[in-house]
Amino acid sequence: MLISLQELELRPVQFKIDIPAGEIEYDAALKQASVLHAEGAAELVNHALNEIRIRGALSVTIEAPCDRCLETASFPVRKDFDLLYYPSDEYEAASEEEIRQTESEVAYYEGDRLNLSEILREVVLLALPMQMICSESCKGICPACGENRNLRECDCHAEAADDRWSKLRTLRAELEPRH
Ligand SMILES: [Zn+2]
Ligand SMILES: [Zn+2]
pLDDT digits (tens, 9 = 90+) for 45-81: 988 888 999 999 999 999 999 999 999 999 999 999 9
Give me the pLDDT at residue 156, please.
87
User: How far lies 9's CA from each of 43, 54, 59, 69, 148, in Å?
Assistant: 8, 14, 28, 50, 56
In the reported structure, the alpha carbon of residue 28 is separated from the centroid of ligand 2 by a whole-number distance in angstroms of 28
How far apart CA 74 and CA 135 sit, in angstroms, is: 10
Residues with CB under 5 Å of ion ligand 2 are 142, 144-145, 147, 154, 156
User: Residue 155: nearest ligand to its CA?
Assistant: 2
> Minimum mean pLDDT among 4-8, 10-14, 84-88, 120-124: which range?
84-88
Amino acid at 111: G
Instruction: Quote the DSSP letter at residue 93.
Output: G
What is the arithmetic mean of pLDDT over 87-111?
Answer: 66
Rg of the chain taking only CA atoms, in angstroms:
24
Q: Cα of 138 to ligand 1 centre, how many Å?
A: 5
Distance 135 CA to ligand 1 centre (A): 6
Question: 19, 115 in Cβ contact below 8 A?
Answer: no
The listed range with the strongest mean pLDDT (104-113, 124-133, 163-172) is 124-133
- Helix and strand numbers, DSSP H then E, in the chain: 4, 8
What pLDDT score does 157 carry?
59
Cα separation, 53 vs 45, whole angstroms = 6
Among the bound ligands, name the one nearest to the CA of residue 160: 2
The ligand that comes nearest to the alpha carbon of residue 136 is 1
| Number of the ligand closest to the Cα of 151 | 1
Among candidate residues 6, 25, 15, 53, the one with its CA nearest the CA of residue 122: 25
Which numbered ligand comes closest to the C-alpha of 70? 1
CA proximity to 138, closest of 41, 76, 65 = 65
Return the percentage of the chain with pLDDT > 90, whole number: 64
Per-residue pLDDT of 24-35, as tens digits, reads 999 889 999 999
